[in-house]
């Protein structure tokens, strides 16, 4: 049941083969069994149960048309505001923050009848590419994972009742607030066997959402994508990850990382599912002036798709140093499949690609330095006890609230923004950004419909290997194929293609034109149909008491 | 020439291996990485990050650097950013927003949600009646003597 697609789950609900309550309980049970993966940082089972009840009523006779997501369990990255539910960004800074409002994406899902199972793990403020930089600990990739099969259901009930308790027992600054709800057990309880180290990273920064969808905790999830934070973990976890055109999905209530690049991301098990979620979420939002006011036309993907005559570009610069042979092989085979099916496949050039990651790093740090200025501990967030002066309180709270990575990016950003460096770094990077954006424009203006590229350099790396290098080094490697898309604002989707020689998923990325989601998703669905990717199925866990 | 199953059949199975090899060498995916190596000697040097600069950045960032590792990280970030010098951007305008050529909606400046003072204040750790509480202002950050050299 939990390995169904969202689309099939919806039709089972409509046909009365299952109920919203049953689906919700199954997902809660799965979530409780998989705590060791550390995908959820806040479980919202009580909210889920009441939403499921509401959805079930919607399916009863005579109550009209149920919502587009009625009864579908979902999860939301913990950087989207959820009214009354802690929204932490996996940072000490926001551990005591319970937003007074819902992000537009969260509200639209709820209005559509979705059932919120929990808030998902991420790299602190989304700054990372593996979901290892979280105050709650790293998220683990369910692929090739050695499950400890522990029965956590009793534990879950205890937590539901006690509903409190510090994550960091040493510091009462993080616990002295009513926002500490939905808390779920100590770190050691969640992390399972300490001697087990050869698991793989989930990718990031939206790793928790990717794992939740891949492992059957929910049927779809929200992430965010600033430089690849949705596509990278989707690729590592063998699911579909959609980054829409900048301006199509509202960022209202998405805690910003880089305003000019952030977009909400969609995780799902199939391309059809991604389209269903997109249809529910897309469109103008009066609360976000960067959403375009155009009317959104819902996307319906037929099953019988022809790619004949479609022009697929293969950007030659997307063979970056360090790309694994598996990935190149998958890329080549898919290009050949398009060719064999009558699409026109040609090699194209996006000449500034290799400078893109550098440009991204500079702009990211600059916007981070500016965005993070809001955290001062006065109106919300972590506040220390330093009362010597306002600035002293700010500095102390910020120092204790942010991790090394966040602080490092603030410093670098402020350095690049110094009056003497502004032109040399910030404006220079913005100029390079235009060149990168123009590269895409030129290729598309010359008749290319879509671009086919790898999503990541390799399959999911092992955690113990990953943490040998610092965050900056890893981000430069991990985001290499994904961040140019954010710089240009175009849409992209990663589709699981095959397994690597290690038995881990490999995804490929399709890049579309501005607001060309329909054409892109059609081709993505066609790819999915050709590949018959062996999705993860953890239904054996249901047999374990 | 595009080779289809039909042409394969015409040539006969005996040519199958040759044809397949010829096919994959036609792949549009490049065999080797296409990035141009950057000569570090062509790049500007990272200027020294002296104590004065670090203090200035700390004040701007309102976060303490605290250790040598923080300074090293900054130096690496600058070194990496310096590679942008290799790109010729003469006459290129900076790109602020990818929606620069679209008309975006601005709503009227009127209150559409309100009466939420308690909700908003509930996230503050320290309040008095309907006020946020801050320590005395206009006092510069304490200077540290033991900062990184």
Strand partners, A43: A118
CA angle A191, A197, A202 (to 5 degrees): 70
| Chain A residues touching residue B104 (CB < 8 angstroms) | 289-290, 292-293
Report helix, strand or coil for A34: coil
If you average pLDDT over residues A116-130, what whole number do you get? 97
pLDDT at A149: 62
Per-residue pLDDT tens for B57-70?
999 999 887 678 88
pLDDT at B16 over 80: no
- For residue A425, what is the DSSP state? I
Q: Which residue of A has its CA nearest to B58?
A: A411
- On the question of pLDDT at A178 being above 50, the answer is no
Peptide bond into A205 cis (omega under 30): yes
The pLDDT of A61-65, averaged and rounded, is 78
Quote the pLDDT of residue A60. 85
The two tokens of residue A82 are 């959820």
- Does the structure show a pLDDT above 80 at B93? yes
- Residue contact A319–B32, C-beta within 8 A: yes
Name which of A336, A359, A430 is nearest B96 (Cβ-Cβ). A430
**Catalytic residue, candidates A229, A268, A270, A475:** A229
The domain ranges of chain B are: 1-33, 35-87
Is B67 an 8 Å CB contact of chain A? no
Parallel, antiparallel, or unpaired for β A115-120 and A73-77?
parallel
> Helix, strand, coil % (nearest 5) of chain A?
40, 15, 45
Give the C-alpha separation, A489 to B3, whole Å.
37
Task: Give B70→chain A minimum CA distance, Å.
Answer: 7
What's the rounded Cα separation, in Å, for the pair A175 and A172?
5
B8 touches chain A (CB under 8 A): no
Is the ipTM reported for this complex over the cut 0.95?
no
- Token digits of residue A268: 């799902």
pLDDT above 70 covers what percent of chain A? 91
* Active-site annotation holds for A229: yes
Exactly one of A91, A134, A205, A361 is catalytic; name it.
Answer: A205
One of 3.40.50.720, 3.30.390.10, 3.90.1300.10, 3.40.190.10 is the CATH number of A6-298, namely 3.90.1300.10
Cβ contacts of A190 within 8 Å, gap of 6 or more: A35, A36, A38, A136, A137, A184
Q: Are A253 and A101 in contact (CB under 8 A)?
A: yes
Per-residue pLDDT band for B144 (boundaries 50, 70, 90) equals low
A408·B70 Cβ contact <8 A:
yes
pLDDT digits 0-9 by tens, B30-44: 999 999 998 888 999
> Of the candidates A321, A345, A411, which has its C-beta nearest B57's C-beta?
A411
Question: Looking at A33, A77, A119, A184, which residue is catalytic?
Answer: A77
Q: What's the token pair of residue B10?
A: 């015409």
Residues of B in contact with A389 (CB under 8 A): 135-137, 139-141
Chain A contact for B11, CB < 8 A? no
Asked if A470's CB is within 8 angstroms of B34's CB, the reply is no
Nearest CA in chain B to A379: B124
Sign of CA dihedral A522, A523, A524, A529: positive
Q: What confidence category does residue A26 fall into, taking pLDDT thresholds of 50, 70 and 90?
A: very high
Instruction: Count A/B contacts: CB-CB distance under 8 Å.
Output: 223
Q: How far is A288 from chain B (nearest CA, A)?
A: 9
Shortest Cα distance, chain B CAs vs residue A162, angstroms? 22
- The answer to whether the beta carbons of residues B130 and A379 sit under 8 Å apart is no
Give dist(CA A509, CA A312) in Å, integer. Answer: 12
**Does A50 participate in catalysis according to the annotation?**
no
Q: Is it the case that residue B80 has pLDDT exceeding 70?
A: yes
> pLDDT > 90: what percent of chain B?
52
Provide the strand spans (E) within A92-189: 115-120
Helices (H) and strands (E) in chain B, counts: 5, 2
Of the pLDDT bands very low, low, confident and very high (cuts 50, 70, 90), residue A361 is very high
pLDDT in tens, A423-433: 999 999 999 99
């Amino acid at each position: 049941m939990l390995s169904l697609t969202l689309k099939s789950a919806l039709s089972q609900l409509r046909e009365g083969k299952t109920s919203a309550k049953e689906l919700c309980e199954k997902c809660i049970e799965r979530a409780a069994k998989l705590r060791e993966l550390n995908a959820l940082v806040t479980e919202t089972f009580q909210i889920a149960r009441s939403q499921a009840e509401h959805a079930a009523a919607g399916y009863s006779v005579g109550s009209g048309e149920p919502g587009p997501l009625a009864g579908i369990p979902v999860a939301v990255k913990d950087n989207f505001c959820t009214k009354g539910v802690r929204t932490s960004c996996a940072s000490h800074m926001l551990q005591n923050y319970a937003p007074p409002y819902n992000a537009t994406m969260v509200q639209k899902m709820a209005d559509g009848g979705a059932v919120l199972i929990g808030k998902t793990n991420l790299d602190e403020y989304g700054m990372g590419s593996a979901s290892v930089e979280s105050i709650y600990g790293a998220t683990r990739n369910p692929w090739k994972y050695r499950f400890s099969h522990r029965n956590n259901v009793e534990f879950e009930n205890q937590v539901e009742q006690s509903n409190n308790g510090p994550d960091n027992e040493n510091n009462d600054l993080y616990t002295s607030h009513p926002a500490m709800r939905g808390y779920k057990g100590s770190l050691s309880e969640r992390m399972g066997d300490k001697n087990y180290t050869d698991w793989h990273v989930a990718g990031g920064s939206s790793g928790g959402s990717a794992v939740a969808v891949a492992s059957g905790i929910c049927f779809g999830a929200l992430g965010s994508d600033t430089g690849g934070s949705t596509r990278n973990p989707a690729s590592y976890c063998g699911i579909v990850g959609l980054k829409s055109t900048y301006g199509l999905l509202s960022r209202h209530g998405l805690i910003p990382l880089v305003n000019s690049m952030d977009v909400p991301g969609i995780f799902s098990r199939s391309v059809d599912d991604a389209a269903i979620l997109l249809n529910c979420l897309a469109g103008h939002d009066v609360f976000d002036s960067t959403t375009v006011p155009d009317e959104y036309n819902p996307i319906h993907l037929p099953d019988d798709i022809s790619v004949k005559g479609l022009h697929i570009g293969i950007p030659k610069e997307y063979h970056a140093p360090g790309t694994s042979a598996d990935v190149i092989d998958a890329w080549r085979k898919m290009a050949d499949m398009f060719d064999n099916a009558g699409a026109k496949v040609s090699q194209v050039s996006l000449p500034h690609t290799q400078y893109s990651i550098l440009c991204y790093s500079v702009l990211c740090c600059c916007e981070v330095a500016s965005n993070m200025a809001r955290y001062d501990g006065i109106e919300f967030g972590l506040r220390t006890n330093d009362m010597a002066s306002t600035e002293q309180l700010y500095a102390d709270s910020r120092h204790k609230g942010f991790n090394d990575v966040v602080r490092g990016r603030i410093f670098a950003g402020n350095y690049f923004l110094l009056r003497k460096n502004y032109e040399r770094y910030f404006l220079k990077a913005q100029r390079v950004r235009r060149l990168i954006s123009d590269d895409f424009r030129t290729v598309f203006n010359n008749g290319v419909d879509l671009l086919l590229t790898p999503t990541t350099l390799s399959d999911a790396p092992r955690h113990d290997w990953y943490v040998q290098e610092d965050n900056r080094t890893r981000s430069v490697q991990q985001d290499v194929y994904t961040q140019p898309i954010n710089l240009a604002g175009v849409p992209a989707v990663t589709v699981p293609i095959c397994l690597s020689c290690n038995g881990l998923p490999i995804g490929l990325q399709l890049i579309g034109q501005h607001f060309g989601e329909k054409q892109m998703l059609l081709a993505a669905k066609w790819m999915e149909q050709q590949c018959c990717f062996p999705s993860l199925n953890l239904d054996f866990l249901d047999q374990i008491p | 020439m595009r080779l289809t199953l039909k042409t394969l059949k015409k040539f006969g199975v005996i040519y199958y291996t040759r044809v397949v090899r010829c096919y994959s060498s036609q792949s549009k995916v490049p065999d080797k990485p296409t990035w141009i190596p950057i000569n570090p000697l062509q790049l500007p040097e990272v200027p020294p990050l002296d104590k004065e600069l670090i203090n200035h950045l700390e004040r701007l960032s309102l976060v303490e650097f605290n250790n040598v590792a923080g300074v090293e990280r900054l130096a690496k970030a600058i070194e990496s950013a310096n590679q942008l010098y290799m790109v010729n951007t003469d006459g290129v305008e900076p790109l602020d927003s990818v929606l620069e050529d679209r008309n975006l909606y601005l709503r009227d400046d009127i209150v559409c949600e309100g009466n939420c003072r308690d909700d908003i204040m509930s996230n503050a750790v320290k309040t008095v009646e309907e006020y946020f509480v801050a320590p005395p202002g206009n006092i510069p950050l304490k200077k540290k003597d033991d900062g990184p050299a």
